[in-house]
Chains A and B, each alone.
Chain A
Amino acid sequence: MPNLMRTVQLALKSLMLHKLRSGLTMLGIVFGVFSVIAMLAIGEGASQQAQQQVLQLGATNIIVRSVKPPRETASQQTANSFVLRYGLKRADFDLLSKTIPTVMQAVPIRELVKACRFLHREMNCRIVGCSPEYTDMNHLELAQGRFISDKDRREKTNVCVLASGTADELFQYEDPLGQSVKVADRRYKVVGVTRAREASAAIGGSLSGQDYNQDIYIPLETMRVRMGDLDIDRRQGSFSAEEVQLNQITLRISDIGQVMSTADVIRETLERTHRNGKDYSVVVPQELLKQAEQIRTIFNVVLGSIAAISLVVGGIGIMNIMLATVTERTREIGIRRALGAKQQDITMQFLTETIVLAGSGGVIGVVLGLATPLVFQLLKVLAERFFFDSGGASEFSEMFANLSPQVVPSSLPLAFGISVGIGVMFGLYPARSAARLDPIEALRHE
């Protein structure tokens, strides 16, 4: 083999002869490599986002929620009653928390949306009846005061904890601690305020997103006593009533390996007690994690393939240019052959040229690829300014805004390797055809 350094120098020299042409040819590979890295980075970002959401729900948790049944079954069930009864019962909670040995902790929740007021300021809040464990399960932190205690539950005291958004809205100038908020004609003393928390995004239809910042937390027992299970909604010309005992039961499982089997047990148990239709749903974050992994794999394969196509297109561009170069430099090939170059020397010369071209394109592509998060950030700013500023945040723009690409380290050598591979693949034919030229013909070439 000829001296490698020298061959590379020679290749660089020939490429520098046509800077624009080489640059443009390289561009195909640059964008190919960049898009491979960028696509994988976006895929990784999306998957990490999903993982984070799932982890926020807790990998050892199982969430059982009440679901309003579809209209037809609902009308049969309540043919002679205005009140729609559905969802989880307190009996379910007892059953689940006491009969399944792998359940370590169970937290029941009741939710209602009601108007709350302080002085003249009023807003609609989600009233959450919960227990002290609620903060723990939802990663809530307190900014001021304390959370609801077991004592509050036992004594059914009229106390509440405000979420940060609620506190800001109702208490614009006052310190909320010690004040009272009026909900449904009753006053609740504010004992604490939570710190602001990012809203959890909806996950694939099985769990809707939750904004924790517009909540008021009160003890579950207080809620039952003061508000009851019946929620009556009166509007102009219509009237509806729902009776729900519990909206959600969050179960913490003792061992992460037991989560899936416990979920099956829970499903079977609830199936037996809810024979009149499915008015609940069981969400297992771990299942979601698995689904997210699967989606991520598909996502990566699809995106990667699209990017790979652009690399192949770049490779075809290189091959095209190299074929033209070989024709253009036929005479040079003839001269070299006359001076003693073997076929293999000519092959190496042109192959090296292609590889150097593709390789430098690969390096530039990798550098650009490393800048993917920056480029994406820039795109985000531009997109927000020019496309999404009117009409509020659509679902797409929200997803877009939350997405932050993560460059996968292994994609860098991978993409670079592919670019060099493309160089070899698409360089071999032009190089071979250069080497096979008849030296006499080549020398005569004008």
Chain B
Amino acid sequence: MSFAAQVIDLEKDYMLGSVPVRALRGVSIDFPHGDFVAIMGSSGSGKSTLLNLLGALDRPTRGNYLIGDRDVSRMTDDELSEIRNERIGFIFQSYNLIPQYTVLENIEVPLHYRSGYPTIGQVEQSRIMELADLVGLGDRMDHRPFQLSGGQQQRVAIARALVNDPQIILADEPTGNLDSKTEEEIMETLLRLNREGRTIIMVTHETSVAKLAKRQVYMKDGVIAGEGVFPG
């Protein structure tokens, strides 16, 4: 069976001041293609560290992390950048749009960092329009982030995450800053993407949101404490 991503005995130590912290103590988890996983856990459980590693923003101290067939754990900084650009789409709790850019320009950003720096052509233009329509912002392309509501900003972020057609979408509390109605809309969009075959890994502490995923992973003290839907 081929996996979208595979985590094998991952460990991460770091120094907090002069105190060594073992943030991950051996995490193994497989993400098959088309998976939708919600990672849950209290703060300090290691879920943020895991997400950073999954997002190729950091390298593990020990263990392996495979995206498709490539081992990310020993890559150089430049290679990590490439992996993030090509294979991973990020969705953040606080949207993280670039404030001086319009919606269109924000969606374009990952295109600028593709390897070889190709120029943005007709194909990319139409893809951007397609994505904007998909998230329902086709008529707001020249707006700036501050002119949009939270839900709209998050949808721009989703379009941005999709522009390079990544295998994995990493969502860090995607609905954390949104009201329940908007939350529903965003989750609807993510579910649709998942139905279209994309692998989604989402960190959340809201059970209602987590329930919508195909499976739930609970973390505690740097290890996976359990899997499955935990009601309440």
User: Which A residues contact B (CB, under 8 angstroms)?
Assistant: 1-3, 6, 13-14, 17, 331-332, 334-345, 439-440, 443
Q: Of B36-44, B84-92, B183-191, B198-206, which binds chain A? A: B84-92
- Which residue from chain A places its CB closest to the CB of B83 in the assembled complex? A340
Q: Which of B57, B99, B113, B119 contacts A440 (CB 8 A)?
A: B57
Interface string of B77-121 (1 = CB under 8 A from A): 110011011100010100011111000000001101110010100
Could you say which of B100, B114, B160 has the most chain A C-beta atoms within 10 Å of its C-beta? B100
Q: Which of A335, A345, A440 contacts B52 (CB 8 A)?
A: A440
B222 within 8 A of A: no
Residues of chain B lying within 8 A (CB to CB) of residue A3: 112, 117, 119
- Which residue from chain B places its CB closest to the CB of A337 in the assembled complex? B81
Question: Do the beta carbons of B90 and A339 come within 8 Å of each other?
Answer: yes
Question: Do the beta carbons of A332 and B98 come within 8 Å of each other?
Answer: yes
Q: Range of interface residues on chain B?
A: 20 to 34
List the 10 closest pairs (A to B, CB-CB), nearest first: A340-B85, A340-B113, A342-B81, A339-B110, A2-B117, A335-B96, A340-B84, A341-B113, A439-B57, A342-B78
B55 within 8 A of A: yes
What are 24 inter-chain pairs, A to B, with CB distance below 8 A? Answer: A1-B117, A2-B117, A332-B98, A332-B99, A334-B96, A335-B96, A335-B97, A335-B98, A337-B81, A337-B84, A338-B96, A339-B84, A339-B85, A339-B109, A340-B82, A340-B110, A342-B81, A342-B82, A343-B77, A343-B78, A439-B58, A440-B52, A443-B92, A443-B96
Residues of chain B lying within 8 A (CB to CB) of residue A337: 57, 81, 84
The CA of A6 and the CA of B114, in the complex, are separated in Å by: 14
Residues of chain A lying within 8 A (CB to CB) of residue B55: 338
Residues of chain A lying within 8 A (CB to CB) of residue B100: 13-14, 17
For window 45-80 of chain B, which residues contact chain A by CB distance below 8 Å?
A: 52, 55, 57-58, 77-78
- Which residue from chain A places its CB closest to the CB of B49 in the assembled complex? A440
The CA of A17 and the CA of B99, in the complex, are separated in Å by: 10
Residues of chain B lying within 8 A (CB to CB) of residue A13: 100
How many contacts A-B (CB < 8 Å)? 67
The CA of A3 and the CA of B111, in the complex, are separated in Å by: 12
A204 smallest CB distance to B (angstroms): 60
Question: Do the beta carbons of A338 and B117 come within 8 Å of each other?
Answer: no
B180 smallest CB distance to A (angstroms): 26
A333 smallest CB distance to B (angstroms): 10
Indicate whether A6 sits within 8 Å of B98 (C-beta atoms), given known contacts A339-B160, A440-B52, A440-B58: no
- Which residue from chain A places its CB closest to the CB of B96 in the assembled complex? A335
Could you say which of B82, B114, B117 has the most chain A C-beta atoms within 10 Å of its C-beta? B117
B200 smallest CB distance to A (angstroms): 17
The CA of A200 and the CA of B55, in the complex, are separated in Å by: 81
B126 smallest CB distance to A (angstroms): 19
B114 smallest CB distance to A (angstroms): 7
Q: Can you name 7 extra interface pairs (CB under 8 A) apart from A13-B100, A345-B113?
A: A335-B96, A336-B109, A337-B57, A339-B109, A340-B84, A340-B114, A440-B58
B17 smallest CB distance to A (angstroms): 15
- Which residue from chain A places its CB closest to the CB of B84 in the assembled complex? A340
The CA of A167 and the CA of B81, in the complex, are separated in Å by: 89
Residues of chain A lying within 8 A (CB to CB) of residue B58: 439-440
Question: Do the beta carbons of A6 and B96 come within 8 Å of each other?
Answer: no
B219 smallest CB distance to A (angstroms): 18
Could you say which of B55, B82, B86, B113 has the most chain A C-beta atoms within 10 Å of its C-beta? B113
Question: Do the beta carbons of A338 and B77 come within 8 Å of each other?
Answer: no
Residues of chain B lying within 8 A (CB to CB) of residue A338: 55, 57, 84, 90, 96
Residues of chain B lying within 8 A (CB to CB) of residue A443: 57, 92, 96
Residues of chain A lying within 8 A (CB to CB) of residue B112: 2-3, 6
The CA of A439 and the CA of B98, in the complex, are separated in Å by: 15
The CA of A167 and the CA of B113, in the complex, are separated in Å by: 83
Could you say which of B81, B92, B99, B164 has the most chain A C-beta atoms within 10 Å of its C-beta? B81
Q: Which of A1, A342, A439 contacts B113 (CB 8 A)?
A: A342
A153 smallest CB distance to B (angstroms): 87
Question: Do the beta carbons of B57 and A339 come within 8 Å of each other?
Answer: no
The CA of A6 and the CA of B117, in the complex, are separated in Å by: 11
Residues of chain B lying within 8 A (CB to CB) of residue A440: 52, 57-58
Residues of chain B lying within 8 A (CB to CB) of residue A342: 77-78, 81-82, 113
B55 smallest CB distance to A (angstroms): 7
Residues of chain A lying within 8 A (CB to CB) of residue B81: 337, 340-343, 345
